[in-house]
Amino acid sequence: MTVTVTGAGGQIGYAALFRIASGAVFGPDQPVALRLLEIPQGVKAAEGAALELTDCAFPLLASVDIATTPEVGFDGANVALLVGSRPRTAGMERGDLLAANGAIFGPQGRAINDHAADDVRVLVVGNPANTNAFIAQQHAPDVPAERFTALTRLDHNRAVGLLAERAGAAVADIDGITIWGNHSATQYPDLSHATIAGRPALDVVGEEWGRGAYIDRVAKRGAEIIEVRGGSSVASAANAAIDHVRDWFAGTAAARTSVALPSTGAYGIPEGLIASVPVRAASGAWQVVEGLEIDAFSREKIDASVRELESEREQVTALGLV
């Protein structure tokens, strides 16, 4: 299994590499070849991570190679974790941010199209994750669209963790939470169909909290981490990426999770937008959980986040990035 990690010299890449090499994604019997794709400024850090990977003597780690071009980096990749992106810096307008990331994710999508393995699966972590994934997917016409996903599993895991904490319940007793829409402040963590040990979650924690402060807390958890920790989420983000890819391969059985993937029109989300929806995984593919009843409150929240995604799509289209 060849796994390419972009931005492998950065924080999340560094945290993810050791778990991939240890067998946390593909299990204890699957050797892994790691490919670390970096820009020149990040190569030293990636080289350092490679030295430490050697020092772990992971029995499953077949090789570690560093690349600085997407063509080499994605050659033969079965899994591509696109973590490296251009962060927003002072004075940067949203259009500048989208354009800078278009220059990264367009060529990476093309290289995946031309050089990756036929069964490649792509997870975009680098922000703005949904729209970066959309750009990459649009440049990879030969890869089935549903193999391009963006990470909302961190939001999902945050939503589970915070609900468990509030209810004094075990994480394992929680199911049926959905993160809808964009990995941004407009995301909608939806408890309408969630259960805690089989009881409706909103009955346990109350609508006022579950449809009020809770939504805000989950959506702004990244900012809370920055404020308290003095830096952005790293280990939890890497952990979510590991969860996402592991479930994609191993399946989720009956449990549900959330993934941003190209819409096929379910729940009224315009086709092609990479929006987070409720899913299960089986036989190596995500399956949208269809038929959930969406009440007026949820509809409004979902629509607001989807509108934001549509506007991002319009902007990258106007900028000629897709």
196: Cα separation from own chain's centroid? 25
What binding mask, one character per residue, do residues 162-201 give for ligand NAX by CB under 6 A, x or -? ---------------------x------------------
125 is in an annotated binding site: yes
Query: What is the nearest approach in angstroms of ligand NAX to the Cβ of residue 219?
Result: 12
268 is in an annotated binding site: no
Q: Is residue 135 at the binding interface for ligand NAX, with CB under 6 A as the rule?
A: no
Q: Is residue 263 at the binding interface for ligand NAX, with CB under 6 A as the rule?
A: no
Q: Is residue 20 at the binding interface for ligand NAX, with CB under 6 A as the rule?
A: no
What sign results for the dihedral spanned by CA atoms 241, 3, 80, 127?
Answer: positive
Residue 215 has a CB neighbour count (10 Å cut-off) of 18
For ligand NAX, which is the closer residue by CB, 167 or 234?
Answer: 234
Cα–Cα distance list, 309 to 4, 50, 127 (Å):
27, 37, 13
Query: What is the nearest approach in angstroms of ligand NAX to the Cβ of residue 28?
Result: 27
Tell me the chain's radius of gyration from C-alpha atoms.
Answer: 19
Chain position carrying tokens 């007793």:
173
What binding mask, one character per residue, do residues 204-243 give for ligand NAX by CB under 6 A, x or -? ----------------------------xxx--x------
For ligand NAX, which is the closer residue by CB, 32 or 133?
Answer: 133
Distance CA 121, CA 96 (A): 28
Give DSSP secondary structure letters for 8-66. TTSHHHHHHHHHHHHTTTT-TT--EEEEEE--GGGHHHHHHHHHHHHHHT-TTEEEEEE
Residue 183 is a catalytic residue: yes
For ligand NAX, which is the closer residue by CB, 42 or 181?
Answer: 42
For ligand NAX, the binding residues in 92-111 under the rule CB under 6 A are 104
Residue of 17, 125, 159, 302 interacting with ligand NAX (CB under 6 A): 125
91 is in an annotated binding site: no
47: Cα separation from own chain's centroid? 25
Close Cβ partners of 36 (under 8 Å, ≥ 6 residues apart): 4, 5, 8, 9, 13, 17, 46, 49, 50, 64, 65, 66, 67, 73
Asked whether 109 and 139 are in contact (CB, 8 A), the reply is: yes
Q: Tell me the number of residues near ligand NAX by CB under 6 A.
A: 29
30 is in an annotated binding site: no
Residue of 67, 81, 154, 160 interacting with ligand NAX (CB under 6 A): 154
Tell me which residues are annotated as active site.
Answer: 183
The contact set with ligand NAX (CB under 6 A) reads 6-7, 9-13, 37-39, 41-42, 45, 83-85, 87, 104, 125-127, 129, 151, 154, 183, 232-234, 237
